[in-house]
Amino acid sequence: MAISSPSHQTQIHIVFVPMLAPGHFIPMIDMAKLLAIHGGIKATIIITPTIAARYNQSSEPSSNSIPISFVQIPFPSDEFGLPEGCETVDTLPSGQWANFGSALKIWQTSVENFIEKMEPLPTCMISDRFIPQVAGIAERLGLKRIIFDGMGCLNLLITHQIEVSKIYETVEESEHFVVPGLPHEIELTKKQIPSFICPVLPSMIEYRDNIKEADRHAYGILINSFEELEPDYIVELQKIYKNRAWCIGPLSLRNKEKKEKAIRGNKAAIDEHECLKWLDNQDSDSVIYACLGSLSKIAPPQLAELGLALEKSNRPFIWVLRATETKLEIEKWMLENKYEERIHGRGLLIWGWAPQVLILSHKAVGGFITHCGWNSTIEGISSGVPMITWPLFGEQFFNEKLVSQILGVGVSVGAKTSIGITSEQTEVEVLVKNEEILEAIEKVMNGDEGGTERRKRAKEMSEAAKKATEEGGSSYHNITMFLQDMVIS
């Protein structure tokens, strides 16, 4: 049922502006569809032509029953020397971060110009925290702006406490410290903190300050999590955001049908029927699914260690590899070592985009080797799959603490240092040996007391996630409260 204004009976119209990275625009598009279905709102999602193509969307309003429109704002790739179609972070070649950042600023200006001309103006704007420039149009037009940053409650609170305490200014690079003011004792090192929290470069300091200034004017925040997952942390966030923090996830659970799961985010590099047929031939909880994210740049020698661990596990596995500049080097290693011959019939390799939610939701999958990006983390939790955690950069070390330490549904491979999202990985030492990866796999996949309890706990969290999104659940309730707030405040 649509939630309308009591005085004017006008439909709520929300404009959504995502960061141009899969971990950000995928959950935001899920959110737009969820809010449109739940509250009968009108949703306008501003994206680039490349993202529209991934979702098979034209520039015309959607013809399906969901009141949602995709608006394509061209991205100035050519103007800044980027390859044609390079409009998202996961398509960015090495050495092009500065150019992408410059193009992103121009794109945000175009977005602002579009919103300014919308008639009538939308009720509010939900924009990604990491594109702070576009937040300015909301303030100038008097629109409520809601923050979305695609991360969980624990991450948000750790970030806040580190920034407020400035503890990073008092510790050495590899020195362990306890993050102050948290419900649990979380120990980190400076090397595991995202660069935007404690930046060194002037450009990053400016970027962080712009984010903080934009956040200061925001009305509230929507979070892709659910209260039962992080109860202590949403309580603390409500204090910070003056009771305007709404957990409305897991957003991935909006995708109910196999087809929805298969096409979510991009066209998969494997036919969904081929993938499901392979999984159907495996025993329950027997398959290891290994995917280290859409942005990871892992050196070929390190990937080789992962490949060896998967082989030594003697279990069926699906291994997702990015088709980046290093693909030829990895393929050469596989050919010289006859890797594909050795794993034939037991290992399924996917080069490119994988239908992750479809795979994780299959009963055959029993373990998930993950980089702990929040999308992957919440998707693993929603599917009830215990995790082998391998954080690489950003907030991923924070998410690992939630999975392995607080929830008890994961085992760490022992990664200690962020490799940096902008790192140009050419010759990098192997940081995690195949023996360490294999040890973590065995702890998750075997049937001893620890593995059994971990799997039981994962299944319980999956059930809690589903209940949260159903009518009467916490996330369902929070969506209703959020939409009502947009009307009456």
The CATH number assigned to the domain holding 84 equals 3.40.50.2000
Instruction: Looking at the structure, tell me whether residues 230 and 89 fall in a common domain.
Output: yes
Quick: pLDDT tens for 253-290. Answer: 988 777 777 777 777 878 888 999 999 999 999 999 99
Number of structural domains found in the chain: 2
190 is a domain residue = yes
Output the pLDDT for position 271.
Answer: 84
Q: What percent of the chain has pLDDT over 70?
A: 94
Q: What is the mean pLDDT of residues 202-222?
A: 93
Are 83 and 227 found together in one domain?
A: yes
Tokens of 137: 């149009």
pLDDT at residue 65, rounded to an integer: 60
Q: 426 falls in which pLDDT band (50, 70, 90)?
A: very low
For residue 67, the tally of other CB atoms under 10 A from its CB is 18
- Give the Cα separation of 107 and 79 in Å (integer): 11
Indicate whether 398 belongs to any domain.
Answer: yes
User: Looking at the predicted structure, is the pLDDT value of residue 417 above 90?
Assistant: no
- Is residue 55, in this structure, part of any structural domain at all? yes
C-alpha distances in Å from residue 156, one per residue of 236, 243, 421: 10, 15, 19
Q: Look at residue 134 and tell me if it is in a domain.
A: yes
Residue 420's pLDDT band, with cuts at 50, 70 and 90, is low
Are 267 and 404 within one domain? yes
Q: Check whether 87 has a pLDDT greater than 90.
A: yes
Does residue 1 have a pLDDT over 70? no
Neighbours of 155 (CB within 10 A): 26
CB 157 within 8 A of CB 237: yes
Q: Same domain, yes or no, for 484 and 383? A: no
Q: Read off the pLDDT of each residue in 404-432 and give the average, rounded to a whole number.
A: 79
Residue 8 within any structural domain of the chain: no
What predicted TM-score, i.e. pTM, was given to this entire model? 0.92
Is 366 inside a domain boundary?
yes
pLDDT tops 90 at residue 249: yes
* Pick from 47-61, 133-147, 220-234, 427-441: least confident: 47-61
What is the distance between the alpha carbons of residues 226 and 378, in angstroms, rounded to a whole number?
10
Quickly list DSSP for 20-71: SSHHHHHHHHHHHHHHHHHH--EEEEEE-HHHHHHTT--SSPP-SSS-EEEE
Q: Which domain holds residue 151?
A: 13-253+472-488
Same domain, 211 and 265: no
pLDDT of residue 427: 44
Task: Kindly state whether residue 432 falls inside one of the protein's structural domains.
Answer: yes
352-370: average pLDDT: 94
Task: Establish if 5 belongs to a structural domain.
Answer: no
